Amino acid sequence: MKSLRDFVFNRGINTPVKKGLKIIIVGCGKVGVALVEQLSQEGHDITIIDTDADTVQEVANLYDVMGMAGNGASYQVQMEAGIDKTDLIIAVTESDELNLLCCTVAKQVGDCAAIARVRTPDYSQEVEYLREKLGLAMIINPELEAAREAARILYLPTALEARSFARGKAELIKFVIPEDNHLHGMTIAQIGKNFRDVLVCAVERNKELFIPGGDFRMKEGDIVSFVAPRVAAKAFLQGVGFETHQVKNTLILGGGKCGYYLAQRLLQMGIEVKIIEQNKKRCEELSILLPKAVIINGDVTDQQLLEEEGIEYAESVVPLTGLDEENILLTLYTKSVSGAKVITKINRITFMNTINSLNLGSVIYPRYITSEAILKYVRAKKETMDSSNIETLYHMFDSRVEAIEFNVTEESGVTDIPLMDLQFKNNLLICMIYRDGDVIIPGGQDCIRPGDSVMIVTAHKGLVDIEDILL
């Protein structure tokens, strides 16, 4: 049977143009700027609000959006920003309480959807209650989401990234082909023949990105992303010579919110956790919150302390300080003295080329995770104004590629037609169909049906509906 790749042709890359939403973003920090950058590219009418007038002017000029200096929770400020005609308000200031208040005021004044960033652990356990009682469309916690991603990687430490689809039953795994690996010299078609439940969906080689066809030949050093059912993903990595057992212990450097969330999840997975934190009061709090973890009061940049606490023998190390520079240096130091799996958290996205050249391994960007979740909602609202058919959305390879999972709710131009007979945009691949609890890696004879979830990987930006995959 021919692969679906054999029916993907080189066609136009124009993304459907749909009317944008009117969006107010409160807070011009890292996440706010990331949202402005991505949402402005997709044609939305954006107004930003922040108390720092200089920052507002700088961001407004850079991205050609409207800006207002003031308190985003103020009724008067929101009215001047046009809240009564706004489709969506997104509050991403540094204060959880201010974000919730911004959304509460907006819901009382205008008929708009509201999204709040909330990071405090006390609130994270009350998300559903707060969302329902305050009428919010979404509450997003970047530190919690970053911890979940880190935990997924430590479950499968071979991976650089591990993302979930199909309600956790399918995985999108990113890894590097090492020297003398079985995959070197194999074509995509050969991989598909030997591992039928695996589909390679993107390859980066020497900074160039490919959505590969069947004749594409793999090389050592390639950075590869593949999709597979969760069990098949491990079997594939084992079959090509990788160790796939989850780590047994983790050393977390920094006991902030993300460190707490990660430790909590790892302990639930049966992984031993040790946290080094400089603030003595925070150490006392963590010892109460995480009685099964070992909490060390000390400076994570103290080389002697790191050696005393066994960094050379740790199976995994996760630097989670508040400074990107410290996290990067700790990662490089760990790699120089240990064979541990290391995950680096980076908040800023400046100097990306320099960061990528450092070979840090697995890197997580909380602001990307936050903006992806919000962008998924915005695209769905843009399409239907009241419901979503985008289940999951991830950015890959520095946002050059998107992986999107669509819910197919009804018959359309893509349903009940063999995939080989559909005319897709170029640089777009159907990677997975989730149907009745089963994950299907599709071939040309397969059809999309109402009720399915369909995952695609594409170099196009702004797709909001399953029919947008067509030429």
DSSP string, 124-159: HTTHHHHHHHHT-SEEE-HHHHHHHHHHHHHHSTT-
- pTM summary value: 0.82
Give the domain range for residue 202. Answer: 158-239
Give a yes or no: residue 335 inside a domain: yes
CB 50 within 8 A of CB 56: yes
pLDDT score, position 124: 72
What single-letter amino acid sits at 275?
Answer: I
What single-letter amino acid sits at 186?
Answer: M
Same domain, 359 and 281: yes
pLDDT score, position 350: 67
Q: How far apart are CA 202 and CA 218, in angstroms?
A: 11
Calculate the average pLDDT of the chain: 89
Structure tokens at 390: 């985008």
Q: How confident is the model at residue 348 (pLDDT cuts 50, 70, 90)?
A: confident
Range with the poorest average pLDDT among 146-150, 369-373, 458-462: 369-373
Q: How far apart are CA 57 and CA 69, in angstroms?
A: 9
Give a yes or no: residue 178 inside a domain: yes
Same domain, 263 and 335: yes
Give a yes or no: residue 357 inside a domain: yes
pLDDT tens digits, one per residue of 209-231: 999 999 999 999 999 999 999 88
Region 24-31 average pLDDT: 93
Q: How far apart are CA 470 and CA 413, in angstroms?
A: 9
Give a yes or no: residue 57 inside a domain: no
pLDDT score, position 260: 96
Cα-Cα-Cα-Cα dihedral of 126, 132, 134, 135, to 10°? Answer: 150
CB 442 within 8 A of CB 360: no
DSSP code at position 221: T
pLDDT tens digits, one per residue of 8-21: 333 333 344 456 89
Measured at the CA of 152, the angle between CA 151 and CA 153, to 5 degrees, comes to 90
Long-range contacts of range 177-183, CB-CB < 8 Å, 24 or more positions apart? 177/218, 177/219, 177/220, 177/221, 177/222, 177/224, 178/220, 179/220, 180/220, 181/220, 181/240, 181/241, 182/239, 182/240, 182/241, 183/218, 183/224, 183/240
Helix or strand run (H / E) with residue 268: helix 257-268
Alpha helices (H) in 352-419, listed in sequence order: 352-357, 366-384
Measured at the CA of 249, the angle between CA 248 and CA 255, to 5 degrees, comes to 150
CB 362 within 8 A of CB 380: no
CA dist 452 → 195, 433, 436, 466 (Å): 23, 7, 8, 11
Same domain, 300 and 353: yes
Q: Exposed, middle or buried by CB within 10 Å (0-12, 13-18, 19+), for 403?
A: buried
Q: Which residues on neighbouring strands pair with residue 91, listed in sequence order? A: 26, 116
Same domain, 234 and 262: no
Same domain, 232 and 257: no
Same domain, 253 and 360: yes
Domain boundary among 206, 239, 272: 239
What single-letter amino acid sits at 35?
Answer: L
**Phi, psi for residue 228 in degrees, rounded to 5:** -165, 155
pLDDT tens digits, one per residue of 46-90: 999 999 999 999 999 999 999 999 999 999 999 999 999 999 999
Query: What CATH number corresponds to the domain at position 224?
Result: 3.30.70.1450
Give a yes or no: residue 448 inside a domain: no
pLDDT tens digits, one per residue of 276-315: 999 999 999 999 999 999 999 999 999 999 999 999 999 9
Q: How far apart are CA 338 and CA 327, in angstroms?
A: 16
Domain boundary among 364, 393, 422: 364
Nearest C-alpha neighbor of 116 from the set 135, 132, 96: 96
Give a yes or no: residue 167 inside a domain: yes
Give a yes or no: residue 465 inside a domain: no
CB 430 within 8 A of CB 442: yes
What single-letter amino acid sits at 453?
Answer: S
Structurally, how many domains does the chain consist of?
A: 2
Q: Exposed, middle or buried by CB within 10 Å (0-12, 13-18, 19+), for 22?
A: middle
Same domain, 258 and 314: yes
Query: What CATH number corresponds to the domain at position 261?
Result: 3.40.50.720
Q: How far apart are CA 344 and CA 372, in angstroms?
A: 19
Give a yes or no: residue 202 inside a domain: yes
Domain boundary among 343, 364, 385: 364
CB 345 within 8 A of CB 320: yes
